[in-house]
Amino acid sequence: MKCPYYKQCGSCQYALDSYDPAEKTAQLTKGFPRRTVEMIHAMDDPLHYRHKVYATFGKDRKGNLISGLYKEKSHTLVRIEDCAIQNEEANAVLRTLTKTAAEMHIEPYDADRRTGSLRHAYVRVSHYNSDILLVLVSGSDVLPGSRELVKRLRSAHPAIRSVVLNINKRRTSVVLGDKEHILFGPGYITDRLCGIDFRISPQSFFQVNPVMTEYLYDTAVRLADLKPEDNVLDACCGTGTITLIASKHAGHCTGVEINPAAVQDARTNAKFNHISNVDFRCADVEEFMNKNRQKYSVLFLDPPRSGVSASFIRASAAMSPKRIVYVSCNPETLIRDVHQYEHLGYRVNKVCPADMFPFTSHVETVVLLSRNT
């Protein structure tokens, strides 16, 4: 299909009229010249895969309220009404929100003049039950007419189960602020991944593509070849997704994460699923590994795009896990880090890429390393 916004918003690097992610496999093969890199796992339907959607509000040249995304590397707002990679119901909610806010004369937030209120919207759609979490981001302490706005939105979209007002008055490109209160519902929705239920609140980290996320984590756990006697460490565990999924196959799993809110989400999801063979620690992972005397047979590692430091790699290798499963969203730092593990006595067994973000240059990869004996 043809995308009317292609090369305007900058979200997609490849045109939507063809889908062939094979070159992402080639990108990884360059970094692992002596290894067998599996062909990338592609999506059966690469459209409307984003179940987490953000929009920014502004005005066009005629003064009409619009919503969309900033053009790449600019502050130019591109009006987007029907994005082909975003969930269709999320697109519909944003259209209704923009239309209704305009009818109610709710002004968009102007960061330069510090006027208006409606700054961003964040829509999360559960792949499991289609429930919707809507977060309205205001640049002021209040959002005028919020009760009536929520009433109209829920009338048009009954699947909206929670609406949260988030306050963000800072001069920043970060969408969400720290202060929020619930306008409707419990403040979260539930999604299911690999048989585990996860509560998703506005600040929770949860992957945007549920179909490929399930494949990615299934692959990670399968490659780990977990046994009931395995003691597992999930470094950089975030909200505990891999930790909880792995717990179904291992004896015990420990997740370590420096973000307190993420750790709280992980503990909540463990209780929600009645999982008792896990524990979550709020700590710097490298410090935890250096101080901890416990041995782990399997290490899961899912770091940010920047990867991990050389000292982190040394600390993790010093624990002598038999298997390391490295999940990465950045081939460049992945290749760098894996080569350092090879110098410390590990070998690469498998490299499994997944097309988490079709029509973009991004690729997710799972690498299995095992300790040389």
Catalytic residues: 329
3-state helix, strand, coil in the chain (%, to 5): 25, 30, 45
Token digits for 263?
């750790």
> 324 forms bridges with which residues in the sheet?
299, 369
Residue 270 one-letter amino acid: A
32/120 Cα distance (integer angstroms): 41
> What sign does the dihedral 204-207-208-210 (CA atoms) show?
negative
> 281 forms bridges with which residues in the sheet?
256
272/266 Cα distance (integer angstroms): 10
**DSSP H or E segment with residue 142:** none
Provide the b/e sequence for 97-133 (b: ≥16 CB within 10 Å).
Answer: bbebbbeeebbbbebeeeebbbbbbbbbbbbeeebbb
- Residue ranges of alpha helices (H) inside the chain are 22-31, 88-103, 146-156, 210-224, 241-246, 260-272, 285-291, 310-318, 331-343
